[in-house]
Amino acid sequence: MTESESIMIGTMGASASEIYDAVLSLSRSIAGRTDLPALLSGVRESLCRIVRFDHLGLILHDPDSGAMQGHILNEPGNPAIASLRMPVEADPAGWVWLNQQPLVLSSLDAETRWPEFISRARAEFGLSTLILVPLTSGENRLGAFGFSSVAPYEPGPAEMEFLERVATEFAVAVEGFLARQAAVRERDRLRTLFDITNALVSKLAADELFSAIGAQLSKLIRHDYSMLTVSNSENGQLDLYALHSTGLPFIDALKGPFDPSGMPAAEVLATGKPVVARAADIERYPSPIFGKFVALGFRSICCVPLVAPNRTIGTLALCRMTDDTWSGEDVAFLVQVANQIAIAVENSLSYRELAEMKERLATEKLYLEDEIRLDHNIGNMVGQGLAFQSVLKSVQIVAPTDSTVLILGETGTGKELVARAVHELSPRRKGSFVKVNCAAIPASLLESELFGHEKGAFTGAVAQRIGRFELAHKGTLFLDEIGEMPLELQPKLLRAIQDQEFERVGGTRTIRTDVRFVAATNRDLKGMVEESEFRADLYYRLHVFPLSVPPLRERREDIPLLTRYFVQKHAQRMGRAIDKIPATAMEALTRYDWPGNIRELQNVLERSVILTHGNTLQIAMPDLGETSGSNVPVVRGSKASQVAERQAIVKALEDAKGQVGGSDGAAARLGMRRTTLQSRMRKLNIAREYR
């Protein structure tokens, strides 16, 4: 028996064989233990016969946070492990780790160096004595091995020597345990990366894809919410690309887009490096959004960049409602995941941009084909009178300014041609001129027509559709019959005009456009505002540059020029050779009031070209008066003409049994449009029963 063994036996009352058995039992009991509670339980079983203690502690140094993480095994009747985490300088185990020397605190009541630790040890565990020895394997300083008791206890030199020997044996086991933990973590991370890669190459929608990724991440990195944001180069904001919750309900404050200024995300985008922020960092991040996060209970956030080959395209952020530490391994792994996601997101954005561009071009092609079929005279306005020249001068003034224009005038006066002229004389002439007739589209479909819709936004929305606002990007959007716009849709239209941004029906992504707005109406918008039939704010937003188009009866000097233009146009299209217009016919056309304005004139002349035989135009319109044998109207005096016109309309109504429209109605019998006939009936005060 050696001298040291005699001292140990004398001090602890244990024989050399008992000590040997205890050390051997320690080696056996900790061998094969794969979790921390089992490892500490094995140590307790081996040492409880040799050393007197109530609690056994393993205190490891965490290199990521620079703190000491204590794992304390309670008395046998309560084998649960308690956790105690403190900064190195505030924990006596930190002193042992730094100095690599044992520490005996025989009376905690008398200790003043670590007040917070002492207070918690006394309050939570009722300790009186604490013994700590370094836990070191070779040059790897792991932490400290601790024994504590409720009753006062003063260990002797032999006991301390024995505890240090035990700590040396135990350090090897702990090092192996930590290495196994690291290997398991690495295996799990690789497996998770593999699963995330499989998810990324799948054909999932963005939200489904990120939910799959979030579920994989939650297995390795504990968090409550995860967000994927994409930087919007046009407005400097972050668009919320996807959001995932691990179980808690979604919080409205997490829904984007939002300005990243004064937030951790701004620092990430500027530096391209990860940022970990806590609730205590609120002065460092003065954004109201960050303050709202803290108020909602968020305690920490880890935000990493989405780095594409040529730029940082956004951020991946994990949020916690607890103060748990973000380890360096967690952050490094999150960066790896973000690198994979960044490639997929960039591809997704590129694909979406190409798809939207393709759809926009296809829609624009169809739209232009429709316009060509309608045979509009794009930008060609015919006239030479003073009223016409006044309109043309106003168009030339406002066209280059990019301001909103409101065109006012009766139906058929050529408001659309004026709108096209504004577009053709503007810097946007190379862009599209897109028309929306607010009166021709059902109210239930008008929002989708204007702003587009996402797939599944409503019944029948089997695919995503681009609206006219997007189609008119870099061009002009003409809102015809704006007075028929449903009242409930007007606030969204106002926002789109003011902010040049909107969301598709059923969508959450804000879309920005660059559009010049031109609106037209034949209604009294100001009167509608007074009667609460039209929003005042929208009216004043449209009323930037009002432009009134005079009715045809106020520009009679232009009727001959318009007549020759329409006759030549229709004759050429039909392959007719009509080169003569009788003076009496032209006089009759000039004297007529044209309640349907230019549209009515064009229709009358087209019908006349169809019915003309030979090269002399034959006017086919009973409204103008009696016709000669050559079917050329003979116009009487104004009163006589009105009397004849009234008689003709009444007779036609009687023949049609009071029916105005339809193939057998009075309008068809007179060779005019239903709306034109109704207008003439009102003017001539014809009985309402015929309307």
Question: What DSSP letter does each residue of 500-533 carry, written as one string?
Answer: SEEE-BT--SEEE---EEEEEESS-HHHHHHTTS
pLDDT of residue 9: 31
Is the domain spanning 3-183 CATH 3.40.50.1820? The answer is no
Helix (H) or strand (E) holding 623: none
Task: Give this prediction's pTM.
Answer: 0.45
The shares of helix, strand and coil residues in the chain, as percent rounded to the nearest 5, are 50, 20, 30
Dihedral of the alpha carbons of 123, 126, 129, 133, in degrees to the nearest 10: -70
Helix (H) or strand (E) holding 113: none
Which class is 206-351 in CATH? alpha beta
pLDDT of residue 494: 92
- How many Å apart are CA 343 and CA 364, to the nearest integer? 31
Contact between 52 and 148 under an 8 Å Cβ cutoff? The reply is no
Is the domain spanning 554-690 CATH 3.90.1150.10? The answer is no
| DSSP letter string, 626-641 | EE-TTS-EE---HHHH
Give the residue carrying structure tokens 């951020």.
315
Nearest to 608 by CA among 597, 624, 591: 624
Length of the chain: 691
Q: Burial, 504: exposed, middle or buried (Cβ in 10 Å; 0-12, 13-18, 19+)? A: buried
Q: Burial, 162: exposed, middle or buried (Cβ in 10 Å; 0-12, 13-18, 19+)? A: buried
- How many Å apart are CA 269 and CA 684, to the nearest integer? 73
Report, as ranges of residue numbers, the positions in the chain whose pLDDT lies below 50. 1-12, 76-79, 372-379, 625-638, 691
From-to residues of CATH 1.10.8.60 in the chain = 554-690
Q: Which CATH number fits domain 375-550: 3.40.50.720, 3.40.50.2020, 3.40.50.300, 3.30.300.30?
A: 3.40.50.300
From-to residues of CATH 3.40.50.300 in the chain = 375-550
- How many Å apart are CA 30 and CA 15, to the nearest integer? 23
Q: Which residues of 534-554 are buried (b: 16+ CB within 10 A; e: fewer)?
A: bbeebbebbbebebebbbbeb
Angle between helices 443-451 and 490-499 (to 10 degrees): 20
Angle between helices 16-30 and 157-200 (to 10 degrees): 0
From-to residues of CATH 3.30.450.40 in the chain = 3-183, 206-351
Q: Long-range contacts made by residues 160-166, C-beta under 8 angstroms, separation at least 24?
A: 160/102, 160/104, 160/131, 160/133, 161/4, 161/8, 162/8, 162/12, 162/19, 162/50, 162/51, 163/51, 163/102, 163/131, 163/133, 164/102, 164/133, 164/134, 165/23, 166/23, 166/26, 166/43, 166/47
H runs (alpha helix) in 452-593: 468-471, 490-499, 525-530, 536-542, 559-574, 583-591
Cα dist. 278→83, 221, 297, 339, 602 in Å? 21, 17, 11, 24, 73
- How many Å apart are CA 601 and CA 624, to the nearest integer? 12
pLDDT of residue 46: 63
Tokens of 64: 């990521």
- How many Å apart are CA 105 and CA 153, to the nearest integer? 9
Angle between helices 638-655 and 674-683 (to 10 degrees): 120
H runs (alpha helix) in 221-325: 264-271, 288-295
CA atoms within 13 A on the CB side of 503: 11
- How many Å apart are CA 194 and CA 124, to the nearest integer? 44
Nearest to 279 by CA among 335, 308, 321: 321
Contact between 391 and 421 under an 8 Å Cβ cutoff? The reply is no
- How many Å apart are CA 57 and CA 84, to the nearest integer? 10
Contact between 656 and 645 under an 8 Å Cβ cutoff? The reply is no
Helix, strand, or coil here: 179?
helix
Helix (H) or strand (E) holding 476: strand 476-480
Helix, strand, or coil here: 281?
helix
Phi, psi of 678 (to 5 degrees): -60, -40
pLDDT in tens, 60-104: 888 877 788 877 766 544 445 567 788 889 889 889 999 999 998
| DSSP letter string, 338-397 | HHHHHHHHHHHHHHHHHHHHHHHHHHHHHHHHHHHHHT--TT-----SHHHHHHHHHHHH
Q: Convert 435-447 into a string of H (helix), E (strand) and C (coil).
A: EEECCCCCHHHHH
pLDDT of residue 635: 36
Give the residue carrying structure tokens 């960049």.
305
Helix (H) or strand (E) holding 54: none
DSSP bridge partners of 140 = 137
User: What Rg value do the Cα atoms of the chain yield, rounded?
Assistant: 43
Nearest to 235 by CA among 267, 265, 263, 261: 261
